[in-house]
Structure 1
Amino acid sequence: MVFKGFKKRSNKRYLNKLISQRSVNVGDTKVKSLGVILCFDEVDDIELFRGLAAHLRIRPNKLKVIAFSSNGKEKANAWDLCFNPNDFGWNGTIKNVELKSFLDTEFDVLISYYTEELLELKLLTALSKSQFKVGILQTDKRLNDLIIKTDITEFNVFKEELYKYLTILNKIKNE
């Protein structure tokens, strides 16, 4: 359909505008909250991220995970929040109130754990008001402050590298 093409183009333009206006602010604030954006088609185990939060000494109530599914019909019982392309409007507008609430939350760290080149996932990362954004290897390097080059199936490698870099950046609480 013609309108889908126009909608996608307007969202791409809006994404490029967001990325060009973004200013990187890497302070030494400690990590107390964690947000995760992932693609349900690639990863479907929320327990991996609960273990990561425990490893980073983040309380379970300060962890928020959202999943995106490119197939709108696919919903999993394990996910509280699973989104699809229908939750996005023109010019980067978000139609879903819960998704908007997630994006307005100022997480200390946001993890973009996906490799698929989907416009909606990139928009979620760019629209997030998180202070520090971490991702795995993606083609657009402007989205994240820290990129950990690892395969999406090697979660333990990602977890250890993230811990190492957050320690170097003085973002982990020493207890």
Structure 2
Amino acid sequence: MILKGFKEKSNKKHLNKLLSQREVNVVDNKVESLGVILNIDEVDDFELFRALADDINVRPNRLKIIAFSTNKKDNLSTWDECFNPKDFGWNGSIKNIELQSFLNTSFDALISYYTKDELELKLLTATSKAKFKIGILQTDARLNDLIIKTSLNEFDVFKKELNKYLTILNKIKNE
């Protein structure tokens, strides 16, 4: 139990280091690849994000969705990529190869769709090499470049606002 507390403290320290070193570099690139991090304990509908990607002209093969759950459930195996706190080590290290691959991918945009204040979710967002990070209202504003204040059950509002702001920022390619 004591080691768990030390591990959490080391991960918080690593998260603060990542966020303090983060340089916001918003360029005028179009969104062609999209990554999504969601908390499956809060939202479990992947199809919403596939429709969102289609709406902003991201091809299905350029969309990658990962889910996180605080507890390991057997029924989560139906999803492709579902992770839990056991996939994280000390000092923000990632134990899972697929998860590390997702974080090393340089997405044009990353959507962090969760509201729970889970250290592991914040570590995923901060560690990601995405160029433009989008999230819903969270406790730490340093995580994302664009924050859209909606609740989790208002996905249509989130989708509409995201489309509006990506159009304003000239990040949606017209086909």
Which TM bucket (shorter chain)? over 0.9
CA distance in 1, matches of 2:2, 2:102: 31
**Structure with greater proportional helix content:** 2
Q: Does 1:52 align with 2:49?
A: no
> How much has 1:86 moved relative to structure 2?
0.2
> How much has 1:78 moved relative to structure 2?
3.6
Contact 1:75 1:82 in 2 (8 A): no
> How much has 1:79 moved relative to structure 2?
1.2
CA distance in 1, matches of 2:77, 2:69: 13
Name the Cα RMSD after superposition: 0.8
> How much has 1:75 moved relative to structure 2?
4.2
Letter in 2 for 1:60: P
Aligned length: 175
CA distance in 2, matches of 1:110, 1:161: 15
CA distance in 2, matches of 1:74, 1:123: 24
CA distance in 2, matches of 1:16, 1:151: 26
> How much has 1:72 moved relative to structure 2?
1.9
Matched residue, 1:108: 108
In the TM superposition, what whole-angstrom CA distance separates every residue of 1:132-159 from its partner, at most 9, and x where no partner exists?
0000000100000000000110001000
Letter in 2 for 1:101: S
In the TM superposition, what whole-angstrom CA distance separates every residue of 1:2-61 from its partner, at most 9, and x where no partner exists?
000000000000000000000001011000000000001000000000000000011000
Letter in 2 for 1:45: D
Letter in 1 for 2:9: R
Matched residue, 1:66: 66
Give secondary structure in 2 for the equivalent of 1:135. strand
CA distance in 2, matches of 1:74, 1:28: 42
Matched residue, 2:38: 38
Gaps of 5+ in 2: none
- What is the correspondence of 1:8-27 to structure 2 with a 5 Å cutoff? 8-27=8-27
> How much has 1:64 moved relative to structure 2?
0.3
Give secondary structure in 1 for the equivalent of 2:11. helix
Bigger mean CA deviation after superposition, 69-78 or 45-54:
69-78
> How much has 1:73 moved relative to structure 2?
3.0
CA distance in 1, matches of 2:75, 2:64: 18
Matched residue, 1:87: 87
CA distance in 1, matches of 2:75, 2:119: 20
Q: Does 1:129 align with 2:129?
A: yes
Letter in 1 for 2:85: P
Give secondary structure in 2 for the equivalent of 1:76. helix
Letter in 2 for 1:7: K
Contact 1:85 1:120 in 2 (8 A): yes
In the TM superposition, what whole-angstrom CA distance separates every residue of 1:53-110 from its partner, at most 9, and x where no partner exists?
0000110000000000000235424410000000000000000000000000000000
CA distance in 2, matches of 1:97, 1:76: 18
Letter in 2 for 1:16: N
Contact 1:110 1:130 in 2 (8 A): yes
Judged with a 3 Å threshold, the aligned counterparts in structure 2 of structure 1 residues 7 and 146 are, in CA distance, closer, same or farther, namely: same
